[in-house]
């Protein structure tokens, strides 16, 4: 159950204490309104249920038969309604017994459904060895970091599951999640390729080797030949310091969808630019001109630009292309997916 935003959501019932002056209608109205609020609440924690129970039981002896019957009608369908309230109504209102009996027939929500209401409960569910498919979807739809991290580390959520791709996509915005996923032992090479930017140097080398082995069995590997205007356009975009212009040109050259998100200047994603230029067949000399002018973070300190040039040196163009496609979740004109 979720913790209530207000630890005493039924405090309005305290106003009933002043109703001895004869305003029984106000007392009945407030009880019914608070009963409706209780039933309509998206989640009810233990404290709010106990508070509601104590207050309602305190005022039920001062209600008439009609009010108790109406309360039974409102509260009986709600599985969180305390049994003590319905028992009292049944004992003191014979015509409300049918409604209170229906309460016993109401199926209680599965424990997992209740646990979904709290962050601690969701973390518990995400760590279980027997993940329920419906619960899994309810966890993923929330986009909660802690639950996603637990799912990423949970071997009961296999990488072959159709929903696993959601974690991979979210890892592009949460490198910490990506690093947890990289600790798994069941990742396909395409999954690893999608997480390449989050991997350490040793893991990146391993990913490149696995991709190279797969690509060796391809009959044809796509390659690019940039024209002078293409190269000039990329270099000019670097000179303007406008990443949006540069990324638009990259999108057009690769034939990616216009909505493709490169985000090459975000911390942790600079290697993506080096991979893209490598895949396009750009020379290191022309690439350096872009690294030096697009943004200082690419070239300072000196180790930064050395790292980008090392990436261009160590990654063959066909492997760089597959990495770019996997990281961006986009396909260029090759149309051939890796097995």
Of 14-23, 183-192, 289-298, the poorest mean pLDDT is in 14-23
- What Cα–Cα distance (Å) separates residue 95 from each residue in 35, 58, 65, 66, 315? 19, 21, 9, 10, 80
Domain check: are 176 and 193 in the same one?
no
d(CA 134, CA 137): 5
Q: What is the pTM of this model?
A: 0.68
Domain check: are 135 and 199 in the same one?
no
* The pLDDT of residue 334 is above 70: no
Residue 16 lies in a domain: no
Domain check: are 137 and 180 in the same one?
yes
Domain check: are 140 and 194 in the same one?
no
Average pLDDT rounded to a whole number, residues 185-196: 95
d(CA 76, CA 105): 10
* The pLDDT of residue 19 is above 50: no
Domain check: are 248 and 316 in the same one?
yes
Domain check: are 199 and 315 in the same one?
yes
Reported as a single tens digit per residue, the pLDDT across 206-258 is: 999 999 999 988 766 677 889 999 999 999 999 999 999 999 999 999 999 99
Domain count, the chain: 3
Q: What pLDDT score was predicted for residue 192?
A: 97
**Pair 282, 226: CB distance under 8 Å:** yes
Q: What pLDDT score was predicted for residue 200?
A: 96
**Pair 41, 33: CB distance under 8 Å:** no
118 closest CA partner among 171, 67, 66, 48: 48
Domain check: are 192 and 319 in the same one?
yes
Q: What pLDDT score was predicted for residue 14?
A: 52
Residues of the chain with pLDDT > 90, as a percent, come to: 54
Can you give the residue range of the structural domain that contains 87?
48-100
Domain check: are 277 and 195 in the same one?
yes
Reported as a single tens digit per residue, the pLDDT across 82-140 is: 888 888 888 876 665 555 555 445 555 555 577 888 888 899 899 998 888 888 999 99
178 closest CA partner among 138, 145, 205: 145
Residue 60 lies in a domain: yes
Average pLDDT rounded to a whole number, residues 139-151: 95
Domain check: are 78 and 123 in the same one?
no
Under 8 Å CB-to-CB from 324, ≥6 apart: which residues?
A: 254, 272, 275, 276, 279
Per-residue pLDDT band at 7 (split at 50, 70, 90): very low
Under 8 Å CB-to-CB from 138, ≥6 apart: which residues?
A: 116
Domain boundary pick from 187, 205, 235: 187
Domain check: are 275 and 154 in the same one?
no
d(CA 235, CA 245): 11
Q: What pLDDT score was predicted for residue 220?
A: 63
* Residue 113 token pair: 């459904």
Reported as a single tens digit per residue, the pLDDT across 20-63 is: 545 677 778 888 888 888 887 767 778 888 888 888 888 888 88
Domain check: are 217 and 157 in the same one?
no
Per-residue pLDDT band at 286 (split at 50, 70, 90): very high
Domain boundary pick from 160, 187, 214: 187
Domain boundary pick from 187, 216, 234: 187
Residue 1 lies in a domain: no
* Residue 214 token pair: 């797969």
Residue 277 lies in a domain: yes
Domain check: are 126 and 218 in the same one?
no
* 164-171 helix and 175-182 helix, angle to the nearest 10 degrees: 130
Residue 279 lies in a domain: yes
d(CA 139, CA 12): 34
Mean pLDDT over all residues of the chain? 85
Residue 105 lies in a domain: no
Per-residue pLDDT band at 67 (split at 50, 70, 90): confident
Residue 66 lies in a domain: yes
Of 57-66, 184-193, 202-211, the poorest mean pLDDT is in 57-66
Residue 19 lies in a domain: no
Q: What pLDDT score was predicted for residue 250?
A: 97
Query: Which DSSP string corresponds to 9-72?
Result: TTGGGGGGGGGGGS-HHHHHHHHHHHHHHHHH-S---HHHHHHHHHHHHHHGGGS-HHHHHHHH
């Amino acid at each position: 159950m979720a913790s209530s935003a207000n630890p005493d959501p039924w405090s309005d019932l305290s106003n009933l204490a002043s109703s001895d002056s004869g305003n029984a209608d106000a007392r009945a109205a407030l009880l019914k309104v608070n009963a409706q609020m209780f039933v309509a609440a998206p989640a009810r924690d233990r404290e709010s249920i106990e508070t509601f129970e104590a207050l309602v039981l305190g005022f039920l002896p001062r209600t008439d038969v009609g009010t108790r019957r109406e309360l039974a009608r409102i509260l009986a369908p709600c599985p969180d309604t305390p049994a003590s309230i319905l028992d009292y109504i049944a004992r003191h209102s014979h015509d409300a017994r049918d409604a209170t009996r229906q309460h016993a027939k109401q199926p209680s929500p599965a424990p997992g459904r209740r646990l979904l209401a709290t962050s601690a409960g969701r973390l518990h569910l995400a760590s279980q060895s027997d993940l329920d498919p419906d619960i899994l979807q309810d966890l993923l739809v929330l986009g909660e970091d802690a639950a996603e991290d637990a799912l990423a580390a949970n071997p009961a959520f296999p990488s072959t599951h159709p929903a696993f791709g959601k974690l991979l996509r979210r890892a592009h915005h949460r490198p910490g999640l990506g690093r947890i996923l990289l600790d798994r032992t069941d990742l396909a090479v395409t999954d690893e390729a999608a997480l390449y930017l989050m991997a350490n140097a040793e893991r990146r080398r391993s990913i490149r080797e696995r991709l190279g082995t797969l690509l060796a069995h391809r009959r044809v590997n796509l390659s690019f030949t940039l024209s002078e205007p293409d190269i000039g356009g990329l270099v000019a975009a670097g000179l303007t310091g406008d990443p949006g212009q540069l990324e638009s040109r990259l999108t057009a050259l690769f034939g990616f969808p216009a909505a493709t998100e490169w985000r090459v200047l975000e911390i942790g994603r600079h290697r993506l630019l080096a991979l893209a230029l490598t895949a396009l067949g750009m020379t290191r000399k022309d690439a350096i001109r872009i690294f030096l002018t697009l943004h200082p973070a690419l070239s300072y300190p000196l180790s930064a630009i050395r790292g980008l040039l090392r990436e261009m040196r160590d990654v063959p163009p066909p492997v760089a292309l597959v990495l770019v496609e996997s990281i961006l979740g986009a396909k260029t004109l090759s149309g051939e997916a890796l097995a």
